[in-house]
Structures are given as structure tokens and as C-alpha cells.
Amino acid sequence: MATRILLLTQWFDPEPTFKGLVFARELVAQGFEVEVLTGFPNYPGGKVYPGYRVKLLQREVIDGVRVTRVPLYPSHGQGGLGRVLNYVSFAASSLLYGLFGARRPDVIYAYHPPLTVGMSAALIRMFRRVPVVYDIQDMWPDTLRATGMFSNERALRLVGRICDWVYRRMDQIVVLSPGFKRLLIERGVPATKIDVIYNWCAEEVVCTEGVSAPAGFPDSSRFRVLFAGNMGKAQALDAVIEAAAMLKKQAPGIALVFLGGGVDTERLKALCSDRQLDNVTFLPGVPMSQVGAYLASADALLVHLKKDPLFAITIPSKTQAYMAVGKPLLMAVEGDAADLVREADCGLVVEPENAQSLADACMALAALDAPAREQMGLRAARFYQRELSLKVGAGRFGEHFRRLHD
């Protein structure tokens, strides 16, 4: 008889989400019976999606996956109260359904953030005696403090205590990096209870072959280094612009391309304009379905985050996408993400916020012959398939689900 999994997650398709429909479908393909317990789609805009309206209960089937939606307060603005109501309302609804509405699952999978989902899962576990696998994608309260979402130290300490309470009640904790595991061990979580399962990427989107360069992309006469994604404070892209200024003088054949948007985009554009950096191109964000063409057109792919202890223990999600597409990486992040690139031998690691180091690395990659860079990209793709892919990650989760059911 198939192991029944209750996937408890506040965000699910059609919302942009990571462990969503693709994960659920893969578990069904592995032979699990899956019910998703989620809210009515409203992320990231805070407004309920067209075709949905908040009601007491809604059941639907998406690609063979049973999805149950429970009510929540739709909100995702900057205001703290709205976001708290959003989190708490889903936690209360999911708890009620998990206790009284859901067919008893064999195992619960709970996705964090937000922490309130973990609280709901812990209480369902307590009353229905169902083991829980807790997937931590964001280290609270550290991330709340680093991003400025919460600045009240008393509130942050309370969040930390609730985290400890939740961790004690989980049967298995899964984290996305060795650094997350080390931090949890420091906080008293037994090492035997924690497993590192690396994230995967949207493989069907990024792994495109034989595509032509999109409009606006620099032509192949230049060595093109692409940064794709959010451009905000955490990315510290001033250092990359400074590297571009150095490259304009030392290696004018190298072009830097920024794909995406964010709070810093216009300021960075103005900075490039003021410095007359004709070797930098800004391209607007595109739908996820089109990102693969941009990645495939680049000669190297850049990850850059500011120097911060929190970022040294995380692995930016673009890392997996860059590896999967099979291109050399320029990894300007310390810690676990850098270790992945070193282990895969698929690029160069540079110090974050060090413009000279980044410029030197760009020139070093550009100086390699094409076969050497191609081999670097092949190593990236093979490492991804062997260690980071959806099939591998979901298989590891499946092992935990079966063990806890037996």
C-alpha cells in the first residue's frame, strides 16, 4: 500500500514556488500518495489570483496531484501586520484541516518558511501521532534580522524560542546546505536528526539546447558574463560595476550582462551611464520559461552576494540553474556555495565585493580556450545531475518518508 504524504506548504502553484507541483508530481511518480494542503494563491502580490476566491475549502486536481486549499488572509506587503495575519491565518486553517479534515497521512512534509507552518505541523503531529519531515529553506530568525523584516530584538528572540520548540518536535529536519546543519547543531538540534538535501532547479526551463541568443544580448564576438536575478542590497552589485570599469580598460572584449530587476536596478544603470561603461548591458526580467535561452547564450554565469556570515551558509538558488545549464561559473559567494563549485571543478571562486578579484577571474576565464571552458560546463552539468537534480533530491526525501512510515 502506498505511503500517504501530506505536503503542508503555504505557497503552491500557480504561485511561484520552489517545492511545489514539480516536487509533488515527482513523489507521485515514485509511488507515493500525495495530498497538498495549501492556501489560496496570492503570493507575491497579496491579491488572490483570478479564478480563485477565498472560501472555507476548495479541492482540485492539478496534473494528477490532489490539492486542498484552506482560507487565509491574503497579504504580502511591506507592512508587518498584514504579513503576520497572512501567516497566522494559514497556520490556523491548516491546523484545523490537518486535525479534523484530512485523511490521516503516514508522514507530513512541512515547508519552512514561514515558521507558522512548522507550528501547525508540530501540533498536528502531537495530536494525530504522525511523523513530520521539516524542510528548512530559510534560517529564522537570522534571515529576518539580515533582511530587516524584523528589527525588534525581543521579537527576534521570541521567534528563536519558537524555532527551538518546533525543531524539538520534528522527526526529521532537512536543510539546503552543510552550513545550515552546522548552525542547527550549535543550537542544540541533534546531528542525527538533520540531513542535507541540496535544492534543485526548474530543469524543464533552464535546460534548453540549440537556442539562439535573445534580442539585446551582446553578440558572440565578446566574452559574455551573465548575472541573472534580483538586483538588491544583498547582491552588492556595485562591486560588479567597479569590476566592469576595470575590464573596460584591461579587457574590452569582455561584456557584463544583467538580466532581471530589483530595488537597485535603476541606480546601477545610472552608475554605468555616469561612468560610460559600454561593456555593461541591462536586460529586463523575463518569464521563467525564457530564462534558459539567456543562460545558454552566455559564456560564463555570475553569482554575487555581499560578504555576510548568513550568505556563507546558504546556496543561492541560481547556483543550481547555472550548473544544470552547463556553463562555467564565477562564484563570488563565500562558504557552502563556493565549496560546491570547487567540488564540481566547474568554475572560479572569487572573494565577494572584491572588484579586482572579479575582474581578474573574468579575464582568466576569457583567456581559456573554448574546449577548456566547454569541459568546465560539462563538469557543472554532470555534477548537477549526480548530486543536485530533482530526481536525486526527491529520491532522498522519499527515503525519509518510507523510513518514518515503516
Q: pLDDT at position 75, please?
A: 86
- Given pLDDT bands bounded at 50, 70 and 90, which one contains residue 207? low
- Fold match, 4-200+389-405 / 204-388: yes
Closest CA to 149 of 82, 94, 199: 82
The structural domains of the chain, with segments of one domain joined by +, span 4-200+389-405, 204-388
- What digits encode the pLDDT tens for the residues 137-191? 988 887 777 666 667 788 888 888 999 999 999 999 999 999 999 999 999 999 9
What does the alpha-carbon distance between residue 392 and residue 271 come to, in Å, rounded to a whole number?
A: 43
Give the CA distances from residue 403 to residues 68, 77, 168, 317, 388, in Å, rounded to whole numbers and listed in that order.
26, 40, 19, 28, 22
d(CA 336, CA 328): 18
Architecture of domain 4-200+389-405 in this structure? 3-Layer(aba) Sandwich (3.40)
For the chain, first and last CA: distance in Å? 12
Q: What is the pLDDT of residue 209?
A: 65
Question: Residue 358's pLDDT is what?
Answer: 97
Cell of 165: 520548540
What would the pLDDT profile of 145-155 be if each residue is shown by its tens digit? 766 666 778 88
Q: What is the pLDDT of residue 263?
A: 87
Q: Is the pLDDT of residue 29 over 90?
A: yes
pLDDT tens track for 252-290: 999 999 999 988 999 999 999 999 999 999 999 888 888
Q: What is the pLDDT of residues 58-85, one digit of tens each?
A: 999 998 899 999 999 998 665 678 888 9
The DSSP annotation for 137-202 comes to -S-TTHHHHHHTS---HHHHHHHHHHHHHHHHT-SEEEESSHHHHHHHHHTT--GGGEEE------
Distance CA 255, CA 252 (A): 8
- CB-CB contact of 121 with 168 (8 Å): no
Q: For residues 294-313, give the mean pLDDT.
A: 92
Q: What is the pTM of this model?
A: 0.89
pLDDT digits (tens, 9 = 90+) for 380-396: 999 999 999 999 999 99
Higher pLDDT, 226 or 75: 226
**Fold designation for 204-388:** Rossmann fold (3.40.50)
pLDDT value at position 206?
78
Residue scoring higher pLDDT (151 or 316): 316
Distance separating alpha carbons of residues 320 and 385, to the nearest angstrom: 10
Pairing of strands 172-175, 107-112: unpaired
Any idea what DSSP says for residue 406?
A: -
Give the pLDDT of residue 290. 87
